[in-house]
């Protein structure tokens, strides 16, 4: 009989879970990667090509943690004009201020207006960054990406990719007013 080995991977928190007691006082830096699925980014049009890079600075006093983070990723999707497969670099920032309930007034002065504030009970040991990351990414997610800034797109009539040259539609298109006039002429 073989004994089943149970790996207890859950004992080790992933990189995006902040273990509060392990953070040094003062300023520290850390960086990690997180998959778009972990962040919970679901977008039908655009997706992240590879794990998202996160780097952040953590300022820690007795009961407060001030996080300033940068997020970078590569988006993959169709060009919004010509539909060609396209990649675009994606960058955003996030800020989070975590405060244990007993934080003193001097510590609270460090909060800046734009900080997202999270108050945790003194007993809380871990804080996940997923929510802050998801909010930051969702807020800055572009609606569409373009293969190049001056992409000419597709012809609305024949569907030709105008980046490869003009189609005949524009030339053949006759202003309806002129068409009426030429009909009149023909009638006489
Ligand atoms: Zn394009
Ligand atoms: Zn055309």
- pLDDT, tens digit, for every residue of 113-159? 666 788 888 888 899 999 999 999 999 999 899 999 999 999 999 99
DSSP helix/strand/coil, 138: helix
Task: State how far the alpha carbon of 81 is from the alpha carbons of 24, 113, 158, 162, in Å.
Answer: 49, 39, 14, 10
* Å from CA of 174 to ligand 1 middle: 27
The domain limits of the chain are 9-151, 152-188
* Å from CA of 82 to ligand 2 middle: 13
* Å from CA of 149 to ligand 1 middle: 8
At CA 52, angle to CA 74 and CA 130, rounded to 5? 140
Q: Which residues surround ligand 1, an ion (CB under 5 A)?
A: 79, 81-82, 147, 151
Whether the CB-CB separation of 96 and 63 falls below 8 Å is answered with no
* Å from CA of 77 to ligand 1 middle: 11
- Residues β-bridged to residue 71: 54, 92
**Residue 147 CB neighbours (<10 A):** 19
Asked whether residue 107 carries a pLDDT value surpassing 90, the answer given is no
Instruction: Please give the residue that has the higher pLDDT: either 66 or 109.
Output: 66
* Residue length of the chain: 188
């Amino acid at each position: 009989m073989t004994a089943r080995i149970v790996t207890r991977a859950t004992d080790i928190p992933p990189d995006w879970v902040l273990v509060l007691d392990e953070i040094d006082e003062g300023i520290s830096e850390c960086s990690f990667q997180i998959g778009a699925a972990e962040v919970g980014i679901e977008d039908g049009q655009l997706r992240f090509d590879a794990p998202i890079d996160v780097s952040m600075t953590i300022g820690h006093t007795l009961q407060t943690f001030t996080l300033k983070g940068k997020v970078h990723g590569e988006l993959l999707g169709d060009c919004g004009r010509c539909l060609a497969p396209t990649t675009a670099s994606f960058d955003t920032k996030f800020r989070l201020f975590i405060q244990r309930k007993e934080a003193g007034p001097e510590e609270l002065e460090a909060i800046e207006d734009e900080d997202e504030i999270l108050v945790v009970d003194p007993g809380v040991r871990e804080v996940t960054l997923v929510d802050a990351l998801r909010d930051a990414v969702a807020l800055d997610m572009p609606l569409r990406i373009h293969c190049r800034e001056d992409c000419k797109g597709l012809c609305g009539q024949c569907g030709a990719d105008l980046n490869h040259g003009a189609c005949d539609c524009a030339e053949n298109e006759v202003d309806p007013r002129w068409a009426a006039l030429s009909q009149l002429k023909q009638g006489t």
